[in-house]
Chains A and B, each alone.
Chain A
């Protein structure tokens, strides 16, 4: 019964139609939250006692890092749905989410390393979080490369799903192993958002920025998945009628 329920609501056509309904609101809400969070954080949040004004990158870096992980987590759920229940839409969503993941992971890496220049004096450090984010970036690229190497799209979908599922198990392993490795070399450096006592005047714009980034990335993902689904299903009648 669960299988038929899943199959009824997971047709690519209904996905495109349903998301088209609320896409404008998601995009508008995402942009507004992001603008609100960033303007508040840039102009109105107080200066940090230790880091000065460069800490304001936090309102961009933390949302980006969170989204980088969340998008992979989303992809792994889709991969499970594709492998176990043979939901084709899930494979389309993985393929659409991967470029969004590449973008946001790059933003996370770039913002983190530019932030490191005034904070640590160096734009790169081999600590657990940075290295595992870099590896996550490479994993996203590997997934895209894998899918584009096969001309048989169904085979490519299944192989990509297998790789995503194997990779998601790897993410905590990488984090733990690099953590274990780096604790031998250096003490814990300044941890940006681990502070249990982050001031509310900084917490509110941060939360709003995280929400805004999530909605913006969801909106971008909806757009990319619409394009990809239409391309993959272009021989179907409902796509022909789309024009």
Chain B
């Protein structure tokens, strides 16, 4: 299992556009939103959070879009199928590596931007925790979408996985709001952590079944 982790980490670290690209796009989106709005008229602090949440959703999809495509095309997936008979370990390794290299930095960027928009410094770690846990959930969901649509383009994957992502967004919004209103943070984050654990444990099984279908 550790082999898979180090292999995937090596691959992702050396593919600059795969991890830097989503982060840059997130920064661009978070800058673009205030530019498009009349700041004097709206209380930006109030709904900047939803911009962070929605940009997290979009960038999670972008980050996992080609998570399997290279391995599918060069035959590594088939090799793993012959050796391991199962894609659980490789999928889990890929998802966790992507969360570590892309998801956590995304959460960091989101927290910094929330700090720039009125959240007090003491609250920023709470925002960071909320965003990090939700990237784990979202990456799992969108990896399922990209496994379904492995070389058919990304639109199919989004359509398939967006209904799954929407409850995660409700949860994330609830978490962000609990920080904003200053109550219920611990309860919501425990709930989110529980959901993230269940999703991370179960999704790779479903993704593995999907990948096996593609290789038949």
A residues engaging B (CB < 8 A)? 135, 138-139, 141-142, 145-146, 149-150, 155, 158-159, 162-163, 166-167, 170, 173-174, 177-178, 180-181, 184
Contact = CB atoms under 8 A, between A and B. Distances in A.
Contacts of B210: 159, 162
A150 B213 CA distance: 12
A159 B170 contact: no
Contacts of B174: 180-181
Given A142-B160, A162-B209, A173 B167 contact: yes
Contact of A149 (B152, B167, B213): B152
Contact of B167 (A139, A142, A145, A174): A174
A159 B152 CA distance: 13
A182 to B, nearest CB: 9
A138 B159 CA distance: 8
A58 to B, nearest CB: 27
Contact of B152 (A150, A162, A166, A167): A150
A42 B71 CA distance: 61
Nearest to B173: A181
B57 to A, nearest CB: 14
A159 B213 contact: yes
Contacts of A177: 166-167, 170-171
B162 interface: yes
Contact of B170 (A145, A158, A163, A178): A178
B163 A162 contact: no
Interface in B132-179: 144, 148-149, 152, 156, 159-160, 162-164, 166-167, 170-171, 173-174, 177
A160 to B, nearest CB: 9
Given A162-B209, A166-B206, A149 B171 contact: no
B166 to A, nearest CB: 6
Given A139-B163, A141-B159, A158 B213 contact: yes
Nearest to B153: A149
Contacts of B206: 162, 166
A148 to B, nearest CB: 10
A170 B162 CA distance: 11
A190 B63 CA distance: 42
A157 to B, nearest CB: 9
A79 to B, nearest CB: 12
A211 B53 CA distance: 43
A138 B170 CA distance: 17
A184 B174 CA distance: 10
B74 interface: no
Interface string B183-213: 0000000000000000000000010011001
B149 A166 contact: no
Contacts of B43: none
Contact of B162 (A138, A146, A180): A138
B216 interface: yes
A162 B213 contact: yes
